[in-house]
Structure 1
Amino acid sequence: MLDYNTIETLHIEVTDKCNASCPQCARNQSGGKVNSHLPLVELSLNDIKKIVPVELIHRLKSALFCGNFGDPIVAKETLEILEYFREINSNINLSINTNGSARDVSWWTRLGEVIQNKGNIKFGIDGLADTHALYRKGTDFHKIIRNAEAFIKAGGNAHWDYIVFRHNEHQVEEARALAAQLGFKKFIVKKTGRFFSNSKLEKKDHQDVLDEQNQPIYKIQPPVNPEFHNSSLAREEGLIKQFGSMQSYLETTDVSCKSLQEKSLYVSSEGLIFPCCWTANQMYVWYVPAASTPLHKLLDSHGGPETINAKFNSLESILENPFFKSIQESWSCKSISEGKLQVCAKTCGSSFDQFKDQYL
């Protein structure tokens, strides 16, 4: 796996807390109850100072603040952490993926002064005032726009990330025009790959959205326009014909690890170190019993989560843990039952890449 001396990018989930309840996010049950497996914690500036050596910050090309479950702007010291990185490395590319619907304009002004054009903030804005919160449940479109305007006015490089659904596909061009008017540097159309059941390994034609009592209140659907379809999902039927089933495809596909190619490492909100966000995601899968995934079992066989916690162990020693080597060795196993990690086959397999195909 990745050698400490070759790390170029850190992906940091500074918290697993969030102000939103997006129905296809792993932190909640389809927009309803919060994932009960989550520890609900955040990293402080002091934690970051323990986890990331100064010499590593000096040589990093980029640090991404995003993650699997939380929104970075909810954590108490995210801004101070970004300022710390910038103070040590004036050229590092700093970026955040966020729903943008927290904090006040003074906070966003400070953030713009830190980011400038050496990085970016990706605002997840999936529609206009009347449609945005159907997916970004619990957020305020008008507050997001005010925050984005403050960030942009302070010199920040803002990108508008627009996930296309059936309920907002008619607004793409209007949103693109608004983004240009407000000063966003990029407008990114995302062709969602999340209409796929990870438990059943098949496409879904809709997603029920639940309330806090886990009762259905409405549903969201993929777009009708083929221009906005995710090409991996469109290839599913062909893969089933070729391999017999999606399970058979995952059993046999070659794995080409994205994190190895990008020389990146993932830091969870607990301080746990993983190759990537996709492997880290397996720690807290809400629809299976706690601590029961194949990744848990692999980690437990190499000493458990405490051995990869960078609050108490150096990054160098963690990367020498056999756990990381075992992940790489799993890719050559002949089947999932013999040890191949399904999360690796699904995310970095040769013919099915929902993530990459969001942008193609």
Structure 2
Amino acid sequence: MERKDINVGIVGTGLYIPETYMTAEDIAKETGIPEEIIKTKFGIIRKPISGPEDHTCHMGIQAAKDCLRRTGVDPKEIDLIIYIGEEHKEYLLWTSGIKLQYEIGAENAWAFDMALRCGTAVAALKIAKDMMVADDNINTVMIAGGYRNVDFIDYKNPRVSFMYDLAAGGGAILLKKNYNRNIVLEASIITDGSFSEDVAVVGGGTKYPVSHEMIDKGLYKLDVLNMEHMKKGLEEKSMPNFLGVIKESLRKSGYTPSDIGYLAILHMKRSAHEFILNELGLSPDKSIYLENYGHMGQIDQILSTQLALEEGKIKDGDVVVWVSAGIGYVWDAITIKWGPIE
């Protein structure tokens, strides 16, 4: 079979959602912002946060196991695991994908970790597809990981208010070569390194090693290091780049925004979510606003897709687009044609 005739399809998804939640009322008490503003402007009714045992890789493992249960796939069929969980995890220096491989019984697979902040799932879907097309020995791939960067939020710091929605959870997605359903098409990715040091947890790295002074100064929390640069730059670039990657992914896949059946988009403030839908000419029912989940980083697109399938919002024949953005900055999108291959 020629490379151009190979297709890569989504077999199914899996999730792990912690049982502990932080509500809009809780966030209002922590921040001093009125509860109604948290609900309406920030778009948060509640969000899951990690419990005592909800470690990052562990949540990815639970999501992967859920995916295997839902799909009925034997883990021994898996050839490759791409771990998409955050760098904030059980141990400071550790390859999580190998642990996940062991825990789900994927004894015939090999694994690696990748990171592109909240854009990781979209990029992983592209990388998995490209590897499966290029390598005759990679036929089944598990993409999975966990997220709990909510741990780094200081609710007394107004500079990080745009990240008050950060939550916790795990997600997984299983791919098969020549599955002939739910076909992964083309991606578009933009990275802009001019923002690379605008947002970070500076403490604990080689520049600011772990010390009493680092802890006393609160350098172990997320912070905006250059607010003026970030705000000005994102005002100019963020929405055009969001729309740009969506349109370019669709164009490369042979579609236009008018073809979109469902948009799996990360959680963001409500006005931004509505702006993107309006700019694409999409009605609210073509997406799900994750106001009861907050922002689980790169898990959002998996969560949105699974919720949409459960609610009947995604049907055979639909063009589905995943879109995300992450600090650094990255904007990325990928198109999926749902249902049997035509």
Pair in the same fold by TM > 0.5: no
**TM-score scaled to structure 2, two decimals?**
0.31
**TM-score scaled to structure 1, two decimals?**
0.30
Structure ranking higher on relative contact order (CA contacts 8 Å, 6+ apart):
2
